[in-house]
């Protein structure tokens, strides 16, 4: 119905296929994140390489999952404003950092490579220039 309301003439079968492609969690509805995810342009090979390098830097154990233990020694929690003010402990800073990348539907205080790539695919979609994305990743992750 929504497609037709906006003047897009599609057959029912096409509409169902399109809906299923967008409804990645199978909930029967398309939330905003699913909608944005479906509209993201593909990333260049170079962007994917930079994301992989950043993930490797974080994944100290090399097991494909970033945990609080991996972050210790890589991410300096003592510089976080809420740590400095005494509001958060070092562990809380790490937990909040992990939440940035963690799957909102399955939070587990761990970042998989897929979650990391999904996060940066969203960032990538808002950065037009490959050169700027390259610079941003190199500066952010010291790679």
Q: What is the pLDDT of residues 111-142, one digit of tens each?
A: 999 999 989 998 999 899 999 999 999 998 88
Average pLDDT of 85-113?
Answer: 90
Given the structure tokens 């342009």, which residue do they identify?
Answer: 41
% of the chain exceeding 70 in pLDDT: 100
Taking 80 as the threshold, does the pLDDT of residue 73 lie above it?
A: no
According to DSSP, the residues that pair with 66 across neighbouring strands are 111
Taking 80 as the threshold, does the pLDDT of residue 2 lie above it?
A: no
101-to-18, 93, 117 alpha-carbon distances in Å? 27, 14, 9
The answer to whether the CB of 88 falls within 8 A of the CB of 3 is no
The rounded distance, in Å, linking the Cα atoms of 126 and 87 is 32
Average pLDDT of 94-109?
Answer: 87
Give the pLDDT band (50/70/90) at residue 37.
Answer: confident
Quick one: CA dihedral 44, 45, 47, 48, positive or negative? Answer: positive
Average pLDDT of 5-22?
Answer: 89
pLDDT at 135: 96
Taking 80 as the threshold, does the pLDDT of residue 1 lie above it?
A: no
Quick one: CA dihedral 13, 17, 19, 23, positive or negative? Answer: positive
What the block records as the tokens of 138 is 């190199």
Q: What phi and psi values does residue 70 have, to the nearest 5 degrees?
A: -65, -35
């Amino acid at each position: 119905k929504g497609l037709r309301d906006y003047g897009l003439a599609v057959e029912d079968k096409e509409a169902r296929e399109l809906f299923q492609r967008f409804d990645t969690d199978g909930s029967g509805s398309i939330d905003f994140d699913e909608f944005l995810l479906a509209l993201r342009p593909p990333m260049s090979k170079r962007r994917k390489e930079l994301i992989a390098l950043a993930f490797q830097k974080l994944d100290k154990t090399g097991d494909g999952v970033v945990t609080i233990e991996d972050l210790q020694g890589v991410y300096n929690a003592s510089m976080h404003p809420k740590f400095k003010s005494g509001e958060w402990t070092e562990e809380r800073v790490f937990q909040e950092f992990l939440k940035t990348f963690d799957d909102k539907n399955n939070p587990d205080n761990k970042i998989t490579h897929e979650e990391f790539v999904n996060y940066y695919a969203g960032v990538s979609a808002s950065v037009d220039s490959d050169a700027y994305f390259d610079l941003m990743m190199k500066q952010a992750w010291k790679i």
